Amino acid sequence: MANTIQARKRARQALARSKHNASLRSTMRTSMKRVRQAIDAGDKQQAESLFKSATSMIDRVADKNVIHKNKAARHKSRLAAAIKALA
């Protein structure tokens, strides 16, 4: 357990930041899941529109260093390839 006032504050801040990051990560996963559901349903039009918003969300999360930029690029690439395969 943190003993100094400064260490206690840092522990509180880390906890708050962790909750915020978890929320962002969850929102990103949900947006990716919606794209995958549209792909599974075979609805290319909807998948493309959802992909656009998911890409924005993935980039936002990567910019805040919640996930690594390469991981963001990998997710976007795989979703784009899956949409392209629908044609």
- Which tokens belong to 78? 């795989």
Instruction: Write the single-letter amino acid at 74.
Output: R
Enumerate domains of the chain plus CATH numbers.
5-84 (1.20.58.110)
Q: pLDDT tens digit string along 9-29?
A: 999 999 999 999 999 999 999
Q: What does pTM read for this prediction?
A: 0.87
Contact 54, 78 (CB under 8 A): no
Instruction: Write the single-letter amino acid at 60.
Output: R
Q: pLDDT tens digit string along 52-62?
A: 999 999 999 99
Contact 25, 66 (CB under 8 A): yes
Instruction: Write the single-letter amino acid at 71.
Output: K
Distance CA 60, CA 84 (A): 23
